Chains A and B, each alone.
Chain A
Amino acid sequence: MNKKKGMSLLAKQKAAGWVFLLPATILIFVMSFYPMVQAFIMSLQTGSSANLKWANPITFNYARMFKDQLFKRSVGNTFLYLIIQVPIMLVLAILLAQLLNNKNLKLKGFFRTCVFLPCATSLVSYALIFKSLFATTGLANTVLMNLGLIHENINWLGTPGTARFVIILALIWRWTGYNMVFYLAGLQNIEYSVYEAAHIDGANGWKSFWYITVPLLKPVIVMTFIMSINGTLQLFDESVNLTKGGPANTTITMSHYIYNNSFGQGVANFGYACAMSFFVFILVAILAAINLKVGDTRD
């Protein structure tokens, strides 16, 4: 009887499964994989956007990239943010999670909400808030002056060193609570009795932190680490809105420089921008490969 209908019930079910996942799959192929291939092809081309030709030699854009001082600086900046900001932020986040996971602590929900609150602001918003706070006439200078710590206003965003400092500070402010949420979720999977047993055995706060929390949270720590590195490699909103990459491009990030070369400053250098973006892709891919390796051996 089923055969009369052309399709058995089981075949119908199978077909339904494919219908369910097809729209999403097609979209990812068309909107992610295909453009990625396109980007690679374009990275081998030069010329204006309407008139792209094969580069001569074919690796012209890549050769240019490795000679481009500004690109090298953007890579350097991105890695500087990464090396300083990510460890500080993650240690702070895990510490806060550990403190908030204490059964005897009161006002837990209040503290958690406060620390988590920066996540409710958009990246552009918080970049502009920090830009205003650290303006030459901003509140940061006013407070430091009144405390007698400085005697003249610091031009925070006009000096490379302090501008980078403000970016890192802003990043820590925005993302610590975000990462804390992962650790809190991870800590909930650890039985509280484990800590109580350790306490009876004489382990104090720090010991139980190092010998219980950190090892048991290792998978979560690895994941947040990779996510943070991934996010920092693609840093854009903060560089554009906090410092405009300045002063004199000393705080520019890779994504910002690529944007400037494609849509930003009246030059549509699509081929060159694609070559640089392919470099970012390679970095992220290496990261993902490391992630898979570390993830495999986590037990």
Chain B
Amino acid sequence: MTDRTAVSAGKSKKNKSAIQRRLIPTYIFLAIVSFFSVFPLYWMITAATNKSLEVAQGKIWFGTNLAENFKNLTGTEPLWTSMGNSFLYAVVQTLLCLFICSLAGYGFELYHDKVKDKLFAVLLLGMMIPQVATMIPLFRMISAGNLLNTVWGFILPTISTPFMIMMFRQNSRNFPIDIMEAARIDGLGEFQIFFRMYMPVMKSTFAAAAVITFMNAWNAYLWPKVVMTRNEAQTMPMLIANLASGYTTDYGVLMLGVLFCSIPTMIIFFVLQKQFAEGITGAVK
């Protein structure tokens, strides 16, 4: 008996190593793809520590010019103002977008009737409106409302999106409707049910939605470029684009700027990768 198990264990071990051997081409292919995926970002980080000339000469290891690059970067561009702006816009955008869209998703799914379903179908049409098509009328609206260079000008067009509403609506299907009835009998109002029962239960959806909204807001470029006409209101992507638009480019300084612009999204990526992936695939279930 013990002999036989030993034999079969030996066999499966052999089997396993055979399987691993057959996977060698897969490992090689994945290693190559991984290298090319990571290398540009690794290079960006090393370049941030080198002199522009060293970068141009093809140095791909860390240098000693980080402090100098930092001095030049903060000397020519309002780095902290732009970081602050980007944080402010992205955080306000995330909080309001989540609140408005989760309310709507909740309303569309748990109070649904024929009229609301039709209305939702109409809202979905908004998904096919390209940003560039509404950019000019929106600019005139924001400008007429004296909201250029303000956080409101940044967020108003995107705090309610069909995608986010759809994500919350889709995920609300898992919300147990019996709980609502029980809560009503216990005397909870409709809003109390939303805040005290729905929000805690839907934590993971809120997390995924928050990650994706923050990322999108932080990375936005076209719309901020349109509404943020003053230097003091500019965002990080606008700042690094400015760094590169001069006649000569200091690659060390530029890559340090790119690094600063990437730090918040990188942190989110590494800490909340699962939520990020869920946020991307969001409403597709």
A40-52 contact mask (Cβ, 8 Å, vs B): 1 or 0: 0010000001000
**Least distance between B131 CB and chain A CB atoms (Å):** 6
**Least distance between B37 CB and chain A CB atoms (Å):** 5
B255 within 8 A of A: yes
Contact between B222 and A255 (Cβ–Cβ < 8 Å)? yes
A14-B111, A137-B56 known; A25 and B218 CB under 8 Å?
Answer: no
Contact between A120 and B269 (Cβ–Cβ < 8 Å)? yes
Report Cα–Cα, A262/B161, bound state, in Å.
25
Binds B, one of A61-69, A100-108, A160-168, A206-214: A100-108
A17-B116, A25-B123, A280-B132 known; A132 and B251 CB under 8 Å?
Answer: yes
B262 within 8 A of A: yes
Question: From A244, which residue of chain B is reached at the shortest CB distance?
Answer: B245
Binds A, one of B1-9, B25-33, B69-77, B200-208: B25-33
Interface hits, A222-247 → B, CB 8 Å: 223, 230, 233-234, 236-237, 240-241, 244
B170 within 8 A of A: no
Contact between A36 and B23 (Cβ–Cβ < 8 Å)? no
Contact between B221 and A123 (Cβ–Cβ < 8 Å)? yes
**Least distance between B79 CB and chain A CB atoms (Å):** 15
Q: Which residues of A contact B251 (CB under 8 A)?
A: 132, 135
A14-B111, A120-B262, A124-B237 known; A241 and B133 CB under 8 Å?
Answer: no
Report Cα–Cα, A107/B20, bound state, in Å.
12
B58 within 8 A of A: yes
A122 within 8 A of B: yes
Q: Which residues of A contact B47 (CB under 8 A)?
A: 132
Contact between A36 and B104 (Cβ–Cβ < 8 Å)? no
Report Cα–Cα, A87/B27, bound state, in Å.
24
Q: Which residues of B contact A102 (CB under 8 A)?
A: 23, 26
Q: Which residues of A contact B270 (CB under 8 A)?
A: 120
B137 within 8 A of A: yes
Report Cα–Cα, A42/B135, bound state, in Å.
12
Besides A121-B41, A121-B265, 18 more A-B contacts (Cβ < 8 Å) are A9-B184, A21-B111, A25-B123, A28-B126, A35-B138, A96-B33, A99-B26, A104-B16, A105-B27, A111-B34, A122-B236, A125-B237, A128-B258, A220-B284, A236-B222, A237-B237, A241-B241, A280-B130
List chain A positions with a Cβ less than 8 A from chain B.
Answer: 9, 12-14, 16-21, 23-25, 27-28, 31-36, 38-39, 42, 49, 96, 99-100, 102, 104-107, 110-111, 113-126, 128-133, 135, 137-139, 142-143, 146, 173, 177-178, 181-182, 185, 220, 223, 230, 233-234, 236-237, 240-241, 244, 254-255, 258-259, 262-263, 270, 273-274, 277-278, 280-281, 284-285, 287-288
List chain B positions with a Cβ less than 8 A from chain A.
Answer: 16, 19-20, 23, 26-27, 29-31, 33-34, 36-38, 40-41, 43-44, 47, 55-58, 60, 100-101, 103-104, 106-108, 110-112, 116, 119, 123, 126-141, 156-162, 165, 184, 190-191, 194, 218-219, 221-222, 225-226, 236-237, 240-241, 243-245, 249, 251, 254-255, 258, 261-262, 265-266, 268-270, 273, 276-277, 280-281, 284
